[in-house]
Amino acid sequence: MSAKKSYRYEIEAQDIDFRRKVSLSSLTNFVLITAGRNAEENGFGLLELQNCNFTWVLSRLVIDMERMPDENDSLTIDTWIEKIGTAFTNRSFRLFGAAGEVIGHAASSWAVIDMETRRSILLDTLPGMQRFVVDESTPIGEPGRIDHIEGEVANQFQVKYSDIDINSHANSLNYVQWLSDCFSLDYYRGHHIRRFEINFLKEIMFGDSGQVYRQEKAAGDHYFQIVTRDKGVACRARILFGELPRFSIA
């Protein structure tokens, strides 16, 4: 057992997009896999909680990158629990490239819910977690609240069997894909992702359908709302892009 631990991943073909860079959904997946592995090794993983009819749910996540890994990289992620509150616990991450250089940070906020009532429970139900808290922060701080936006419809979705995870709701990676699909290939050719933020507000379940609204508040700074037909706003998010240099041939 370790309060802070490193996990190494090799970048494979399924992890990269057409630019040969790790996609946002794959990067998010690496971060979430790291959280799950560390929780499991320390005795409070998803399957352990489900034996008590509880489960982990992701509330907020922010990923801030100096650069995105590519096909020639390996990726190492350090993770630790930074804080445990009454209903939420904050887990932090530091991401390293193949040469051992820091390429990004991430921070997440998690709750435990009762699988029958779908309501959160107090984290003192899991007293053993306290000994794994590490008094260490990252430059990006805690994931913050994202405000309401207006925007225009940029994508639509309907939740099907393959979208549903072990918690019986749409997997968080589906949200990332719905957001990522709001942009053209040309846009991705000229931009790279610098920061991703997401707030999960309501569960999206099998059969739900909805729309993704997007508003560009500043150049490259896009805000989103995922709105379901019957439940209203289920998620808010932000993707901040930087422009890639354009080269001309004389």
Superfamily the domain 1-143 falls into: Hotdog Thioesterase (3.10.129.10)
When pLDDT is averaged across residues 186-193 and rounded to a whole number, the result is 96
Confirm whether 1-143 and 145-250 share one CATH topology. Answer: yes
DSSP assignments along 122-137, one per residue = -GGGSGGGGGGB----
- Token code pair at residue 136: 């260490």
Give the tens place of pLDDT for each residue, 116-145.
898 888 887 776 788 889 989 999 999 999
Q: In angstroms, rounded to a whole number, what is the distance separating the alpha carbons of residues 53 and 201?
A: 21
pTM listed for this prediction: 0.93
Using pLDDT thresholds of 50, 70 and 90, give the confidence band for residue 181. Answer: very high
Residue 51 has a pLDDT of: 80
Which residues neighbour 28 within 8 Å (Cβ) at sequence distance 6 or greater? 61, 63, 172, 173, 176, 196
Q: Which CATH class is domain 145-250?
A: alpha beta
Give the tens place of pLDDT for each residue, 13-50.
999 999 999 999 999 999 999 999 998 888 887 778 78
Residue ranges of domains in the chain: 1-143, 145-250
When pLDDT is averaged across residues 220-246 and rounded to a whole number, the result is 93
Residue 1 has a pLDDT of: 56
**Considering all CA atoms of the chain, what is the largest pairwise distance in Å, rounded to the nearest integer?**
67
Give the tens place of pLDDT for each residue, 151-169.
999 999 999 999 999 889 9
